[in-house]
Amino acid sequence: MKRNTKIATALAAGVLTIGGVLAVGPVTADQGGAASGAAQTAPQSLLMNAQHPGSHHGGGMDGIRQHDRNCDGAAALAEQGTLTAAQKATLAGMAEEEKLAHDLYTEFSARYDARAFERIAAAESSHLTAVRALLNRYDVTDPTAGEQAGEFTDPAVQATYNRLLKQGEDSLTGALKAGRTVETDDIAVLTQALSGLTAPDTRHVYTHLLAASERHLTAFEHWIAAQ
């Protein structure tokens, strides 16, 4: 209870920075029924006193909602370009990265009384939907299609998920640190993926995902410091 009180204090102090939801529609592929449409139904208590640093829309619940709506509108895919074989492989990998984050945060949300995980999991669900739209547009096989929660096609991604899940099994601090690792890795992957990328639609989505990961990372760092 004491640890959760500290997180609530951090939220009230204005360190909730988990906006940037990029949504183009509900998640439709199998994920064990998790978080479908959750981006619109997260508990208000999580966000009631939150601030959104750097947002010109202002803080609090209204500011967060306005920012989400803006990101939703911005998710309409830009002009299609051309992807190399390597860039298509990266796009497929991006889907697994987003699913890993969603599944991990969903698991931690069920394990701990910290609704922050639920809110960020909803954002990751929307991010995965945006990546899937690109996969469909470029006729790239979706490696996450039909995979249940916590299951991945790439053995390396599966090993990472298993390791981070184990890290967060025993304590909330461990779970928060696992989240920090996920966002740090995502930032590195997205930064590299944007290098040399010319397709307008893919750059558009990756840029939004990068901004969201940077906000999520800042949030996790604040929550870890509050422990």
Residue 37 has pLDDT above 50, yes or no: no
Rounded CA separation 106/120 (Å): 9
Rounded CA separation 177/165 (Å): 11
Residue 101 has pLDDT above 90, yes or no: yes
Q: What's the rounded mean pLDDT across residues 196-217?
A: 94
53 DSSP assignment: T
Most confident of 66-70, 84-88, 112-116, 124-128: 84-88
Give residue 148's pLDDT: 95
Return the SS3 of 41.
coil
Place of tokens 């099994």: 169
> Which two three-digit tokens encode residue 81?
């370009």
Rounded CA separation 77/201 (Å): 5
Residue 40 has pLDDT above 50, yes or no: no
Return the SS3 of 145.
coil
pLDDT, mean over the chain: 74
Residue 64 has pLDDT above 90, yes or no: no
Report the CATH number of the 36-44+79-225 domain. Answer: 1.20.1260.10
Higher pLDDT, 6 or 94: 94
Residue 29 has pLDDT above 60, yes or no: no
Q: What's the rounded mean pLDDT across residues 49-56?
A: 30
Cα 36 to chain centroid, rounded: 14
Nearest to 151 by CA among 69, 34, 43, 7: 34
Residue 75 has pLDDT above 60, yes or no: no
In 3-state terms, the chain is what percent helix, strand and coil (to 5)?
65, 0, 35
Cα distance from N-terminal residue to C-terminal residue, the chain: 11
Domain assignments of the chain as residue spans, ordered by start: 36-44+79-225
> 20-24, 46-50, 108-112, 183-187: lowest mean pLDDT where?
46-50
Instruction: Check the CA dihedral 211-213-218-219 and report its sign.
Output: positive
Say what percent of the chain tops pLDDT 70: 66
Cα 2 to chain centroid, rounded: 27
> 2-6, 30-34, 53-57, 137-141: lowest mean pLDDT where?
53-57
Do the beta carbons of residue 103 and residue 31 sit within 8 Å?
A: yes
Residue 215 has pLDDT above 80, yes or no: yes
Rounded CA separation 100/102 (Å): 5
Query: Can you give the pTM of this predicted structure?
Result: 0.70
Q: What's the rounded mean pLDDT across residues 165-171?
A: 95
> Which two three-digit tokens encode residue 20?
């940037």
**For residue 174, what pLDDT band results from cuts at 50, 70 and 90?**
very high
Distances (CA, A) of 165 to 106, 153, 159, 179, 204: 11, 17, 10, 10, 31
